[in-house]
Amino acid sequence: MRRFFLLLIIAAVIAGVAYWAVAPFGSSSEKFVDIAPGTPSRHIAAQLEQNGIIRNKYLFDAMHAIKGGTLKAGEYRFDHPLKMSEVYDRLKRGDVYTVSLTIPEGSNLFDIAQRIQKAGLGSKESFMTAAHANVKLIADLDPKATTLEGYLFPDTYHFSRHMTPLQMQEAMVRRFRQVAAQLGLSGDDHHIVTLASLVERETPIPEERPLVASVFVNRMAKGMPLMTDPSVIYAALLDGHYRGAIYASDLQSNSPYNTYKHTGLPPGPICSPGAASLKAAMHPAQTDYMYFVAASANPSGKSRFSATLEQHAHDVAAYRKSLHQASSR
């Protein structure tokens, strides 16, 4: 009889241990656990127990001894009760918490740095500093580049809060290289990316981009200044005095980015162009267009292209009329 009760006690203990091991545990409220690199598994178990993620650190240690594998460092997010095996598997996979960050097409370094800070991934100042310091990432693409402007490809990324500006920029440049390879971009990357950045900022309409590129190519062929407003705005941003609009003093600036005063392309890209703009810069349309009124500034939502100054003057007048009508509604 005594042996029978002993067996019952042992069975109850085993059942209790099994329950502890398989029953979900933890809070339904959000909790983050940050595991530092090099943390021993027994310390990870203690950290999980202390944060209320698992019931018992010794059971977790036993599971590690049985299942094996490496538990990965990083920040983990828990927002509902989990089985101990599920917690273990998440750490073994390295299923760390990440922040989704979307970089729209046409974003410049200032825009990207601001989004980085807003997402809680670091300060905009540190990102900007790194964008100047890490030009080695594109040394083979653009040896004369002084920043990563233009090569941080616009896309949606998933970054952990532990990532450095360098690691984030590496991911963005890597994505640029992937898209560039898919498009067949080779040769003068500096020229193509710079031209594409101007096209990107001039029109949001994909089918217009080869036409915009053709205007720039035609004007450069005749030695005419490009006279593109986005580059003037970029010059003001670099000088730290952009006031939300272009003023006469901006058009008189001696900045090499002032395409009203200097012919040819600006010294480098003014934003991160998307695939459509890169493709347009690689394959501009064959036109005789020399002028256009940009869609970005036109209430009609479409650009107006012309081959002669006379037609351009007519388009500008039509644009001003539509702008006046839009503002009086």
Among 93, 118, 137, the domain boundary falls at 93
* Statement to judge: residues 141 and 157 lie in one domain: yes
Q: Are residues 105 and 179 in the same domain?
A: yes
pLDDT of 148 over the 50 cut: yes
Residue 262 within any structural domain of the chain? no
Q: What phi, psi does 33 have (nearest 5°)?
A: -125, 120
Q: Are 143 and 75 in a shared domain?
A: no
Q: Is residue 233 part of a domain?
A: no
pLDDT at 316: 81
Residues 86, 103: one domain? no
Domain boundary among 78, 93, 108: 93
Cβ neighbors of 118 (< 8 A, separation 6 or more) are: none
Residue 11 pLDDT? 43
Q: Which of 167, 163, 156 is nearest to 73 (CA)?
A: 163
Q: Is residue 245 part of a domain?
A: no
Confidence of residue 318 (pLDDT cuts 50, 70, 90): confident
- Same domain as 168, residue 133: yes
Domain that residue 74 falls in: 20-93
pLDDT at 13: 43
The answer on 179 and 108 residing in a single domain is yes
Decide: helix, strand or coil at residue 8. helix
Asked if the model's pLDDT at residue 216 lies above 50, the reply is yes
Domain boundary pick from 40, 65, 93: 93
Residues 37 and 69 in one domain: yes
- For residues 142 and 104, membership in a common domain is answered with yes
Q: Are 57 and 49 in contact (CB under 8 A)?
A: yes
As for how many domains the chain has, the answer is: 3
Q: What is the pLDDT of residues 248-277, one digit of tens each?
A: 998 999 999 999 999 999 999 999 999 999
On whether residue 196 sits in a domain, the answer given is no
- 88 plus 106 within the same structural domain: no
| pLDDT band at residue 19 under the 50/70/90 scheme | low
Considering the domain boundaries, does residue 250 fall inside one?
no
pLDDT of residue 5: 47
Q: With left for phi above 0 and alpha for psi between -120 and 50, is residue 249 left, alpha or beta?
A: alpha
Confidence of residue 319 (pLDDT cuts 50, 70, 90): confident
Same domain for 299 and 320: yes
The 3-state DSSP class for residue 105 equals coil
Q: Is residue 109 part of a domain?
A: yes
In a domain, 310, yes or no: yes
Q: Are residues 64 and 107 in the same domain?
A: no
The CATH number of the domain holding residue 64 is 3.30.1490.480
In this structure, the answer to whether residues 104 and 65 fall within a common structural domain is no
Q: Is residue 54 part of a domain?
A: yes
8 Å CB contact between 264 and 192: no
Q: What is the pLDDT of residues 93-127, one digit of tens each?
A: 999 999 999 999 999 999 999 999 999 999 999 99
